[in-house]
Amino acid sequence: MIQYKSDEEIEIQRQSSLLVGKTLAEVAKVIKPGIKTIELDAIAEEFIRDHGAVPGFKGYGGFPATLCISVNEEVVHGIPGDRELIDGDVVSIDCGTIMNGFYGDSAYTFAVGSVKEEHLLLIQRTKESLYLAIEQAISGKRIGDIGHAIQSYVEGFGYSVVRDLVGHGVGRNLHEKPEVPNYGRRGSGIKLKSGMCLAIEPMINLGVKEVVQDNDGWTIKTADSKPSAHFEHDVAIRNGKADILSTFDYIEEVLNNK
């Protein structure tokens, strides 16, 4: 059953979503070749707790960390550890928070050091596809319009859309109805209504769409070992224009000043 939020609840949820953006900005300050992914995780957890919230992913379904850190061919759900990032890495970082009973959930893909042009374009176009999807996230449209916007854009560049993982509703629970695929047909699927809150998250592969699960039981990788990119925003459905609850502004301010 879809959980519709009041304006008041959406404002509470916005605070949790904004905290995710601020947390990822703290990560952006220190992400560089040589840093261990577990160090990024510790920084994020401390920052979230210092701001009166709880990490949304830690312990969720048994996940052991605050951040999902997925490097290169890892699509999502990578577990932080002793791996050191190196020059040229493409790193998706997904973060969740719980504050005042509501989840925030957002992801950003970072280019570490000097990254191949081909991989930078994958990152850029994946992010662009997210905003094209958000343009469709308005009252009266349908779920398929969101997926179609992503799919038609990225496939035009020869990329592929992961089918096995999808976006989702978000609110008092991290994963709520409806599912939000990153592919689909215009005009198909459930109708979007004001008060729905969605986590829209294109996961786009440079090569094939197929993915495999790592032996750790969490990490999802591309089947052909080519890089993947991932961006995610929390969005409230409104009339006329979507209301983006999360933000990349803090992250990009850091990156632009590095």
List, for residues 71-114, the tens digit of each pLDDT value.
999 999 999 999 999 999 999 999 999 999 999 999 999 999 99
Q: Look at residues 231, 226, 203 and name the one whose alpha carbon lies nearest to residue 127.
A: 231
Total tally of structural domains belonging to the chain? 1
Please state, in angstroms and as integers, the Cα–Cα distance from residue 2 to each residue in 66, 137, 199, 212, following that order: 27, 15, 13, 30
Q: What is the Cβ-side half-sphere exposure of residue 220, based on CA atoms within 13 angstroms?
A: 19
Look at residue 182 and tell me if it is in a domain: yes
Q: Is the pLDDT of residue 25 over 90?
A: yes
pLDDT for the residue numbered 258: 86
Residue 2, in any domain of the structure: no
214-240 per-position pLDDT tens digit: 999 999 999 999 999 999 999 999 999
Residue 60 is classified by DSSP as: G
Q: What percent of the chain has pLDDT over 90?
A: 100
Phi, psi of 119 (to 5 degrees): -80, -35
Domain containing 81 — which CATH number?
3.90.230.10
Average pLDDT over residues 136-142: 98
Per-residue pLDDT at 164 exceeds 90? yes
Q: Domain limits at 116?
A: 7-256
Cβ atoms within 10 Å of 42's Cβ, excluding its own: 14
Domain contains 89: yes
